[in-house]
């Protein structure tokens, strides 16, 4: 379950959600804090699961800076099904269509530049688990959720 609050520090009107919600503007005019009581969720800037996305795990987010939000606008959310057991496994490629050098990971990587000396990732295969790409090193910037599958170019994961 996830609860969205209009004001910072879990104050003001709120909306409790336990399933996907394509548009919660009828419940809230803005969102300044979030409490995730269970599961992993993705909140989207606009209705119908569009716009910037923010991956939310169990915990408290007292203001939008804590989920790396750009402002107090959120319009929809959905639950993320994380496969139980096992570790994630991803292959990343320096060129589109799985070209160039390929690197594999089974654990988080805060910086592809430092880890593999790559400036950017242009294709990937998510072999196991669900991965989150970040626009900038050290888990900063826009987020992109990648479930199991093949992504031949950045536009296929929403970049």
Q: How many domains does the chain have?
A: 2
Q: Domain limits at 132? A: 89-157
Q: Is 17 helix (H, G, I), strand (E, B) or coil?
A: strand
Q: Tell me, yes or no, whether 99 and 149 share the same domain.
A: yes
Report how far residue 96's alpha carbon sits from residue 9's, in angstroms, rounded to the nearest whole number.
43
- Give the pLDDT confidence score for residue 86 in this predicted structure: 65
- Give the pLDDT confidence score for residue 40 in this predicted structure: 92
Mean pLDDT of the chain: 93
- Average pLDDT (97-105) is 96
Reported as a single tens digit per residue, the pLDDT across 112-122 is 989 898 888 99
Q: Tell me, yes or no, whether 65 and 9 share the same domain.
A: yes
pLDDT confidence tier of residue 87, bands split at 50, 70 and 90: confident
Q: Tell me, yes or no, whether 13 and 61 share the same domain.
A: yes
Please check the confidence at residue 84 and state whether its pLDDT lies above 90: no
Phi, psi of 100 (to 5 degrees): 75, -165
Q: When comparing pLDDT for 15 and 25, which is higher?
A: 15
Please check the confidence at residue 83 and state whether its pLDDT lies above 80: no
Q: Tell me, yes or no, whether 69 and 99 share the same domain.
A: no
* pTM attached to this predicted model: 0.84
Reported as a single tens digit per residue, the pLDDT across 46-73 is 999 999 999 999 999 999 999 999 899 9
Q: Tell me, yes or no, whether 50 and 108 share the same domain.
A: no
Q: Tell me, yes or no, whether 103 and 148 share the same domain.
A: yes
Q: Tell me, yes or no, whether 101 and 75 share the same domain.
A: no
Mean pLDDT lowest among 9-23, 25-39, 75-89: 75-89
Q: Tell me, yes or no, whether 108 and 152 share the same domain.
A: yes
Q: Tell me, yes or no, whether 9 and 67 share the same domain.
A: yes
DSSP the chain: -EEEEEEGGGEEEEEEESS-BS--TTT-S---EEEE-SSEEEEEEETTTEEEEEEE-SEEESSGGGGT-SSS---EEEEE-PPPSS--EEEEEEEGGGEEEEEEESS--S-HHHHH--S---EEEEEES-EEEEEETTTEEEEEEE-SEEESSGGGGT-
Q: Tell me, yes or no, whether 100 and 135 share the same domain.
A: yes
Q: Tell me, yes or no, whether 106 and 140 share the same domain.
A: yes
């Amino acid at each position: 379950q996830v609860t969205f609050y209009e004001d910072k520090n879990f104050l003001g009107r709120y909306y409790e959600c336990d399933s996907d919600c394509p548009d919660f503007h009828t419940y809230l005019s803005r969102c300044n804090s979030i409490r995730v009581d269970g599961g992993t969720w993705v909140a989207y800037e606009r209705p119908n699961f569009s716009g910037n996305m923010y991956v939310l795990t169990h915990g408290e987010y007292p203001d939008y800076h804590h989920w790396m939000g750009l402002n107090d606008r959120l319009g929809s959310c959905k639950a993320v099904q994380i496969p139980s057991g096992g570790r994630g496994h991803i292959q990343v490629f320096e060129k589109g269509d799985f070209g160039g050098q390929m690197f594999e990971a089974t654990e988080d990587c805060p910086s592809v530049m430092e880890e593999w000396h790559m400036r950017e990732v242009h294709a990937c295969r998510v072999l196991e688990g669900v991965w989150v790409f970040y626009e900038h090193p050290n888990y900063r910037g826009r987020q992109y959720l990648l479930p199991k599958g093949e992504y031949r170019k950045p536009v296929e994961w929403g970049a």
